[in-house]
Chain A
Amino acid sequence: MLHWLVEPGLWSNSAVHLGAAVGVVVAAVSAWVGLFTVLRAQSFAGHALADVAMAGGAGAGLLAWPALVGFVTGSLAGAGAMELIGVERLRQRDVATGVVLGAATGLSALFLYLVSLDSSSSGATQVILFGSLFSVSAHVLWLVLVACALLAVGVAAIGRPLLFSSVSPEAAGARGVRVARVSLSFTAVMAVTVGLSAIVLGAVLSTALLIGPPAAALRLGRGLRATGLAAAAFGTGAVLAGVVASYDSYYWWPSHRALPVSFCVVTVIVLELAAVSAVRALARRRGDG
């Protein structure tokens, strides 16, 4: 049975192992953080951070720094800029996010152009934008593990006030929760998370790991803990299934052009969300009848 699903060599390929390990850890953390992003309806901000991470990654490429450092510093800087422009009025959040996003893509255009002038760095644009999970190096795994541990501590530290102020900012404020400070800390947590997912799916696609799995888990309509676990399961499952599909796809066509890992992972996430929505719609119809 497994033989049909998995093409030869998958189990012995160390690049695939490493990529899958990084992907699974990041997907689990991203799903947890994304749960709050979806609850707070901040998908746009999450995506804007990804686009700023792209500028950071491209800038790192220019300076010959590791991409991960560029992604994380980039999105942290973007989070700061968004807070600076848009913090005053909620109504301006949409525009502030958009302006930072637009500036970031402009910078990315410049950096990627300058990187592409250097002929030795061919393929850099694809790697920064769409990722290449199978080419992460071993020390990235350790960096990712440390960063994920820090994120877990961070989320645990602001967990209760964060949940309270995400569900009902007014009530949380009345109960003495410092909503603005919690919001700022969460933006920082989200920025680091987006920077990490950028290593897995590439900067512009990292939004998929942040939004898709939690959105699917929330549609199951369970308690918080179950939803968190389901989100992590959806995320890690999508990464693993995507890795296998991408590896297999090399053998699907005579041309031997494999599908990109990030495309496979995003497709699985979209399918998960569609499946959960369909099941819920069916259940609701049965409930009516």
Chain B
Amino acid sequence: MFASFMTNAWLVGTVVALLAGATGFFVVMRGSSFAAHAVPNGAFAGAAGATLVGVAPLIGLVSFSVLAALGIGASRRHRSDVATAMALVGMLALGAAFLSLSAAYEPQVEALLFGEILGVSSSQLAPVLAIAAACFVALAVMYRPLLLQAAAPDLAAARGLNATTLEMGFMLTLALGASLTVPVVGALLSFSLTVGPPAAARLLTRRPATALALSMGLSLATLWVALAAAYQSDLPVGFFVGTLSALLYVVVRLATRRRGAGA
């Protein structure tokens, strides 16, 4: 399980899980799950496009997910759910067209959508770590403004916080994070880690800082267990990531409800 070819998987998986837990905390707090689900699909289209044109996947991943994030962020003011849905299907359709034009094999489609953590090569490590570091710095800078805006939007506006700038900043961080998680856990599943563990963490505590730490911890635990289970059972990592994240939330929901009823 800790063989040399698994080292990269553990390393990148750890970074991805910590980042997903941190971004997910804000996603759940802001109620922007749909956007968090849509943006990684931009990364999917980008990776597929890069395969077709023959450039480095990372270029496609970053440029397309940033494009998707900016599109959703720009239309945030009116009817965001429609714009998000259209960006989502537009990007997915584009990705499907790129893949069919480049006659990519089925495994490639599955890898992009459902992830291929064992395929992380050592040359990918440096860019992944650099992007992750940038995302963590961005989240640390935006931590207080984002909290204030979620808790008291009027107060935030009175303090001179620009809601649009903040929204764009957060969406860009989401996009950068997605371009990192998509090759590892896939476009569809990078979302599971972003919503399950943070939602569970939020049920467990009311303090923002504790919830953030707990969210990262739970996300990390989910990914580690999923990796180990996938290694032992020879089933896809994505299956374990997706179902364990959901299971975690449901178990915590049931447990906290009982405690709430007893108190």
- List the one stretch of A18-26, A94-102, A143-151, A173-181 in contact with chain B: A94-102
Most buried by B among A94, A215, A270, A273: A94
- List the one stretch of B128-136, B154-162, B238-246 in contact with chain A: B238-246
- List the one stretch of B55-63, B80-88, B164-172, B207-215 in contact with chain A: B80-88
5 interchain residue pairs of minimum CB distance:
A106-B242, A103-B246, A102-B192, A109-B238, A110-B239
Main DSSP-derived SS at the A contact region? helix
Q: In the complex, which of the residues B79, B86, B250 contacts A208, with contact meaning CB atoms closer than 8 Å?
A: B86
In addition to A260-B100, A262-B96, A263-B96, 4 A-B residue pairs with Cβ atoms within 8 Å of each other are: A94-B32, A113-B110, A205-B89, A211-B85
- List the one stretch of A63-71, A125-133, A134-142, A158-166 in contact with chain B: A125-133
**20 interchain pairs (CB within 8 A)?**
A95-B195, A95-B249, A101-B191, A106-B192, A106-B238, A106-B239, A107-B239, A108-B188, A109-B110, A110-B235, A125-B106, A125-B109, A126-B109, A207-B88, A211-B86, A212-B85, A257-B101, A259-B100, A262-B96, A266-B92
Q: In the complex, which of the residues B33, B36, B100, B110 contacts A116, with contact meaning CB atoms closer than 8 Å?
A: B110
* Cβ-defined contact, B81 with A41, below 8 A: yes
Please give the distance in Å from B250's CB to the nearest CB on chain A: 7
Q: Could you say which residues of chain B place their CB within 8 Å of the CB of A152? A: none
Q: In the complex, which of the residues B90, B94, B100 contacts A257, with contact meaning CB atoms closer than 8 Å?
A: B100
How distant is the Cα of A204 from the Cα of B245 in the complex, in angstroms? Answer: 21
In the complex, chain B residues 164-212 whose Cβ is within 8 Å of any chain A Cβ: 186, 188-189, 191-192, 195-196, 199
- List the one stretch of A8-16, A42-50, A220-228 in contact with chain B: A42-50
Contact with B along A239-266 (1 / 0, CB 8 A): 0000000000000000001011011001
* Cβ-defined contact, A204 with B33, below 8 A: no
Q: Of all chain A residues, which has the CB nearest B106? A: A125
A85 interfacial contact with B, CB 8 Å: yes
B97 interfacial contact with A, CB 8 Å: yes
* Cβ-defined contact, B246 with A204, below 8 A: no
* Cβ-defined contact, A38 with B82, below 8 A: yes
* Cβ-defined contact, B238 with A270, below 8 A: no
Which A residues fall within an 8 A CB radius of B? 38, 41-44, 46-47, 51, 85, 91, 94-95, 97-110, 112-113, 116, 122-123, 125-126, 129-130, 202, 204-205, 207-208, 211-212, 215, 257, 259-260, 262-263, 266-267, 269-270, 273
Please give the distance in Å from A153's CB to the nearest CB on chain B: 27
Q: Could you say which residues of chain A place their CB within 8 Å of the CB of B89? A: 204-205, 207-208, 211-212, 266
B103 interfacial contact with A, CB 8 Å: yes
* Cβ-defined contact, A257 with B103, below 8 A: yes
Most buried by A among B37, B89, B97, B189: B89
Q: Could you say which residues of chain B place their CB within 8 Å of the CB of A99? A: 195-196, 199, 245-246, 249-250
* Cβ-defined contact, A102 with B253, below 8 A: no
B148 interfacial contact with A, CB 8 Å: no
Q: Of all chain A residues, which has the CB nearest B109? A: A125
Q: Could you say which residues of chain B place their CB within 8 Å of the CB of A212? A: 85-86, 89
* Cβ-defined contact, B189 with A43, below 8 A: no
